[in-house]
Amino acid sequence: MIHAESRAYFKALGARICQLRKARGFTQAELARAIRVSQQAVFAYELGERRVSVLVLAKIARVFSVSVEELVGIAPPTRAAKSRLSPRAIRNAERLQALSKTQQRFVVRIIDTLEQSGRRSASPPSC
């Protein structure tokens, strides 16, 4: 259990972890596997309900390619480079590579068609 004086810190840290995780396209389960903890632990970190050890902080920072200082909020965020592929995207790329060349071309044509149809029906984004 976290003492009241630490709760705000761990809530803010959890929010940063959640924000980075979503920005990088990770699920809680994928992040948990990458840092070798349970999905429930990641859930508790993000809520600020569980202390994040220094070792886990270092692992999370490495996974997201940020400094520990940035992760804990004592350094300003660095300009975000193009995010790397999520674990799911990597698995899908591996699955695509396992297909025959003909099947790969077919899948890419489907993706191209979906992108074109999305561009035609896309409305201006709202923020």
Output the average pLDDT for the chain. 84
Taking only the tens place, the pLDDT of each residue in 59-117 is: 999 998 899 998 888 877 766 545 566 778 778 888 888 889 899 899 888 988 888 88
pLDDT above 70 covers a percentage of the chain that reads: 85
Q: What is the Cα 74 distance to its own chain's centre?
A: 21
User: Is the CB of residue 10 less than 8 Å from the CB of residue 2?
Assistant: yes
- pLDDT of 46 > 80? The answer is yes
Distance CA 17, CA 63 (A): 11
Confidence of residue 34 (pLDDT cuts 50, 70, 90): very high
Confidence of residue 45 (pLDDT cuts 50, 70, 90): very high
pTM exceeds cut of 0.85: no
Burial of 98 (0-12, 13-18, 19+ CB in 10 A): exposed
- pLDDT of 123 > 60? The answer is no
pLDDT at 111: 86
Q: What is the Cα 35 distance to its own chain's centre?
A: 12
Confidence of residue 125 (pLDDT cuts 50, 70, 90): very low
Distance CA 35, CA 62 (A): 9
pLDDT at 2: 59
Task: Say which amino acid occupies 74.
Answer: I
